[in-house]
Structure 1
Amino acid sequence: MDSTPGAGEIAFDCPFFRIYKDGRIDRFQGTDTVPASLDPHTGVQSKDVRFSSDPDLSVRLFLPGHSDPARKLPLLVYIHGGAYCIESPFSAIYTRHLNTVASAAGVVAVSVDYRWAPEHLLPAAYDDAWAAVRWVAAQALGERGAEAEPWLRDHADFDRVFLAGDSAGGNIAHHVATRAGVEGLPGLRIAGVVLLQPFFRNDGPDKLMEIIYPSSSGATDPRTNPAYDPNLKKMAAQKALVFVAERDHLKERGRSCYEALKKSGWEGVVEIVETEGEDHVFHLFKPGSDKAAELVKKFASFLNQDSGARQCL
C-alpha cells in the first residue's frame, strides 16, 4: 500500500479527469491524437511543426485547399481548451474544428500546444502560448535561428493576425493579446480576438485553479479574471468577439469579460453572441448541428470583415 502523504486522496474530480493530492492525475479523455493529413471533407491540409525544443512543443498548421500563392490569407492562432489539463492541437476534436474553421474562413491556422497541468503548473501554459506566438512573429520577421516555415511565409498575412481559443484556451488567448499590447510583438498586427465560451475566474473560490495555479493571487489575478486586469485597455486588437452559451455554467464569466473590456478604456470594438439552448463548447461536441454551423459562420465572418487580400510583392 502506498504510504505517500496524499496518495489516493482526491483533490479535484470531474468527468474528464481526476487530480490527487499527491499531484497525480487520471485523464479519462482528451489524450488521444490523430496524425496531420489532408482532410477529405474540407480539402484543408495540416502538418506539425516544432516551435520549441525546451520544452518540446509543436504547433499543428492548417492550410486551406487551392491556396493562391499570390494571395495572402488571414492568420488564425488558436489555443485549445481542456481546463489546462487535457486535449491538444493533435486530438481529433481540435483537428476537426480547425479544419472546419480554416475552410469556412479561408485562413491559415496555427493550433498551439502547451504543457498540461498539474504536472506543469500555471503559468506554464500562458508562457508556452506566448512562446508560440513569438515563434510566429519570428517567421514574419525572418529572424535568424527561426527555420523558415513556408506555409506561414508564403501564405499568411502577418498584418491580419487573429488570436482565438475556447474555454481555458480563451483565457490564454486573452492573456496573450493583452501581453502583446503591453510588451509589443514586432512582426505581427493583432487584428482581433475571438473567445469561445472562455474559462475565467469569478470572485468566488475555484478549487481547480487553486490546485493548478498555486502561485496565483486568487480571484483577483489579472491573468484569470479580466475584471481585475489594469492592462486590459492595452489589449493588442482592434476588435473582439465573445461567444457564450445559454446553458453553460461559465456564461456569466464570458459576459463579465465582455463588460470589463467595454469599461476598460480599450479603444477596440467588442461584440458578444449567445447561443440559446446550448452548453459549454457545444460546437466541439456537436459539430454537425445547425447551431455549431451558425457559430462557425459567425466566427469566419469575423475573421474576414474589412480584410481585403494583400498581394505578394
Structure 2
Amino acid sequence: MASSPELLHDFPPFLRVYNDGRIERLLTTPRLPPSTDPITGVQSKDVLISPDHATKSRIFLPKIYPEDPPQKLPLIVYIHGGGFCIGSPINIVTHSFLTPLVSQTPVVAIAVGYRLAPENPLPTAYHDCWAAFQWIASHATGSGPDPWINDYVDTSRVFLVGESAGANLAHYLAVQAGVNKTGLGIQALIALHPYFSQKEPDKLIQYLYPGSSGADDDPKLNPRSDPDIEKMGCSRVLIMVAEKDFLRQRGIDYKETLKKSNWEGSVEFVENEGEDHCFYLFNPRSEKAKGVIQMLITFINQVI
C-alpha cells in the first residue's frame, strides 16, 4: 500500500508543500470580474500583457465626467505581495486597496500580474514584472496597445507601489528603470511593509528560488548587495513599516541602505503604531487603514 505524501515543514501556514510536488494554498481571496464600482465610479478591465502566459493585469480608471476637459492623470504601477507565492491583481484585496486610492487622488492604476512560485520558480516574478513595465513604457509616445493608458495616463508621472514581496519587486523595477532608460518618468517608489532577505537564509525563499542563497547576498532579494542601487530611477522613496510586523526591521534596514548608498534621492519613513503586517489590506474599512490611504494620497499629490 502506497504511503501518503509527506508534508514538508518550515513553510508558512498559508502554503502546504508535499514531497510529491503537490502544493496547497490555504489563504485565498475571491477574484472579482472587471466592473464599474457603484460607489466611486472607478472602472476596471483586465489586460493580457504577455502572450507567453495567461496571467492577467488589471487597469483601474477613475470616474471620467464627459463634461470635464480631457486630462492626463498620474499612473500607479502596483505590485501585490504574498511571499511570491500567493496573491492576485484581480482579487478583492487588490480591488479594496486600489479603488479608494484611484478615486480620491485621482490616478490611473495598473495592478501587475506575475506568475507565482513555486510552480514558476523565482526569478520568474521579476522577469514578468519587468516585461509588464516595458509594456507600460510602450505607451510613452501615446501609441501603445491599450487605449486607456494612451488616453488618460501622463507617463511622465509614474509611481511604483508594492507591499511586502511586492515592494521587493517594485524596488527591482525602480532600479531596472534607472539602468535601462524606458521613457517613463518615475516620480517615486512607495514600499509598504517591504520584504527583503536577511543574513540568515530564508528556507521558503530557498524553495521558491532554486539556485539562490535565500539570504542578503542575493542582489534581487536585498538592495544592500545590488551594485546598481545608485542608479535607481526615481528621486523619492516612501517606506512604511508596522510596529508589530516581523518584517519591520527589514524596512528600517532598507531605509539605511538607501541613505548610505550613492543614490541621490530622498527617503521618507512612516511607522504604523500598534499594527501588524499589511493590516490595511485585511481590514480596509478600519480608520487606520483609511489613514494609510489618505497618507498615500497626500504623498502622491505632494510629489506631482
Match of 2:135 in 1: 135
Structure showing greater relative contact order (alpha-carbon pairs closer than 8 Å, 6 or more residues apart): 1
Mapped to 2, the partners of 1:296 and 1:174 lie a distance apart of 20
Shift of 1:10: 1.2
Match of 1:17 among 15, 18, 22: 15
Match of 1:252 in 2: 249
Match of 2:27 in 1: 29
Contact 2:29 / 2:92 at 8 angstroms: preserved in 1? no
Contact 2:78 / 2:110 at 8 angstroms: preserved in 1? yes
Contact 2:201 / 2:213 at 8 angstroms: preserved in 1? no
Contact 1:104 / 1:296 at 8 angstroms: preserved in 2? no
Contact 2:80 / 2:163 at 8 angstroms: preserved in 1? yes
Match of 1:56 among 50, 54, 57: 54
Match of 1:210 in 2: 206
Match of 1:110 in 2: 110
Paired residues, what number?
Answer: 301
Q: Aligned pair in 2 of structure 1 residues 40, 228: CA closer, same or farther (>3 Å)? A: same
Mapped to 1, the partners of 2:253 and 2:232 lie a distance apart of 16
TM-score (norm: length of structure 2): 0.94
After the TM superposition, which residues 1-313 of structure 1 pair with which residues of structure 2 at under 5 Å, given as runs? 7-30=5-28, 32-66=30-64, 68=68, 70-141=70-141, 147=145, 149-185=146-182, 187-219=183-215, 220-307=217-304
Shift of 1:69: 5.5
Shift of 1:142: 5.0
Q: Aligned pair in 2 of structure 1 residues 142, 42: CA closer, same or farther (>3 Å)? A: closer
Shift of 1:222: 1.0
Shift of 1:265: 1.3
What amino acid is the match of 1:301?
A: T
- Structure 2 spans left out of the alignment, 5+ residues: none
Shift of 1:20: 2.4
Contact 1:114 / 1:128 at 8 angstroms: preserved in 2? yes
**1:305 counterpart SS class:** helix
Contact 1:69 / 1:155 at 8 angstroms: preserved in 2? no
Q: Aligned pair in 2 of structure 1 residues 38, 2: CA closer, same or farther (>3 Å)? A: farther
Shift of 1:260: 0.5
Of 236-245 and 28-37, deviating more is 28-37
What amino acid is the match of 1:115?
A: R
**Among the aligned pairs, what percent are the same residue?**
49
Q: CA RMSD in A?
A: 1.7
Mapped to 2, the partners of 1:306 and 1:200 lie a distance apart of 26
Of 51-60 and 74-83, deviating more is 51-60
Contact 1:11 / 1:21 at 8 angstroms: preserved in 2? no
Mapped to 1, the partners of 2:285 and 2:108 lie a distance apart of 22
TM-score (norm: length of structure 1): 0.91
Q: Aligned pair in 2 of structure 1 residues 63, 205: CA closer, same or farther (>3 Å)? A: same
Contact 2:11 / 2:203 at 8 angstroms: preserved in 1? no
**1:52 counterpart SS class:** coil
**2:170 counterpart SS class:** helix
Shift of 1:217: 3.9
Mapped to 2, the partners of 1:26 and 1:132 lie a distance apart of 27
Contact 1:31 / 1:91 at 8 angstroms: preserved in 2? yes
Mapped to 2, the partners of 1:22 and 1:253 lie a distance apart of 34
Q: Deviations over 1:139-186 (max 9, x none)?
A: 22356xx52x1211111110001111111111100111111111221x
Q: Deviations over 1:187-209 (max 9, x none)?
A: 21111100110111111121111
Shift of 1:56: 2.2
What amino acid is the match of 2:208?
A: I
Mapped to 1, the partners of 2:233 and 2:76 lie a distance apart of 15
